[in-house]
Amino acid sequence: MENSPSAEADTAQPASAPSEKQEANNPSASSEKDADPPLSKNQLKKRRRWEKAQSIKKRRKEQARELKRIKAKNAGRDLDAERRQQLQNEKEGTGWKRREERWKEILQKADIDNSFRVCLDCSFEDQMTSKEMNSLGLQLRYAYAVNRKSAMPVHIDVCGLKKGGETRGHLEKVEGFPERWVGRAFRCYEDEMEEVYCKSIEVANGVTSTNPSMKCDGNAQDGKKSPIISEDKTSAAKSEVKTSTDSEDKASTKNGDVKASIKSEKEPEDTENVDSNKDATDNVSDLPYPKLRPNHKFVYLTGDSPNTLTSLDNNTTYIIGGIVDRNRLKRAAIERAESINSQNTLLSIQTARLPLDENLDFKGSTRILTCNHVFEILQRYRENGYEDWRGSVMAVLPCRKDVEEKVERNDEVKANMKKVRVQVLL
């Protein structure tokens, strides 16, 4: 086996070795010697394997790149002309303009201003570890990516994402955050959730001041319960009651009969912050709060709630707790909602849970979902025409959950009748 240069340097005797007195008189030399100890045989073997793997990886990349060049030439493509055109497009910004036009078309088809909103409450950082905050940052990125690629995007408000925090620090490493994300219906606020939406309601009621010290009063909303939430009195798995309002909301959503109280702006980053009557202001920086319609409702999604979500209302903000606790923080989300209601009567936040047990059999798997999974379930339900919770959840949950769809009793009866008929015929 060949010896590396470092190994030879360790075994070979130097021509003029420094004496002990010289080492004592030169402490920097002794510290350098202590800082770089000789490598063991196992460490040398690991280094050689790592260097060999890196060289193989580099060679494979070059081979793949060369294979692409050959395929392009065989297809008759002029690679040099394509590179020049790409550089020209980057300078002129034509690619960005094309993407912006496509995004405008998606927003018009999705009617985003007349859809429900989603809020991610990131006020639990002081209760999470650095690893958990890193996971929360990744989940926010997944939620942004899913919403950007969806044919039916919704407005996302991330509240409590303070500058200097670890979660925001992870997001700031991504190019374009937060400036470009605003144009994709994704807004971040340093203020807490209750402060952001209180100010939004005050602006909607004609108060244009953006003073942070301005307090909210409880006279702007009636605090009525949302018709899309049912209470579980006996058990959480037996609540499937829907009111007549649910069916009316579904029909109006399918036919596109929901009337818009706010006109969308031409620029995508200004779609939710422009007043149709221009009573407040036309500048987004002067009105950095979500634009809410009258009688807007708020529902905090938590698995500890006794209420079950049966449908989605387009004049409601659904709040997802930004918690990554590995099932460590018990009842954190519902206690947060109760705390806001006790201190502020303006929002009148209700709580609800997703109808998981009513549609799926989790066996021994946990029912705790990540923030991006909860958001994607809500979005899938909207894409499915505000129906089919079962299909929406099954399309989102990963395979490791090992869940099965619950078979309804009518389906079981039909299957048994078919078996009986087959036996009779035989």
pLDDT, tens digit (0-9, with 9 covering 90-100), for 239-253: 333 333 344 444 344
Read off the pLDDT of each residue in 138-164 and give the average, rounded to a whole number.
Answer: 94
The whole-number pLDDT of residue 325 equals: 82
Is residue 29 over pLDDT 80? no
Read off the pLDDT of each residue in 48-65 and give the average, rounded to a whole number.
Answer: 94
Give the model's confidence band at 337: pLDDT under 50 very low, under 70 low, under 90 confident, else very high: very high
Q: Is the pTM of this model over 0.75?
A: no
| Higher per-residue confidence, 11 vs 165 | 165
Is residue 103 over pLDDT 90? yes
Give the model's confidence band at 2: pLDDT under 50 very low, under 70 low, under 90 confident, else very high: very low
**Least confidently predicted of 277-291, 341-355, 412-426:** 277-291
The whole-number pLDDT of residue 226 equals: 46
**Residues constituting the chain:** 426
Is residue 98 over pLDDT 70? yes
According to the per-residue pLDDT averaged within each range, which of 17-31, 33-47, 181-195, 281-295 is highest? 181-195
Q: How far is CA 66 from the centre of its chain?
A: 38
Read off the pLDDT of each residue in 311-335 and give the average, rounded to a whole number.
Answer: 91
The whole-number pLDDT of residue 365 equals: 78
pLDDT averaged over the chain?
76
CA distances from 168 to 125, 130, 163, 204, 369 (A): 11, 12, 6, 29, 22
| Higher per-residue confidence, 37 vs 46 | 46
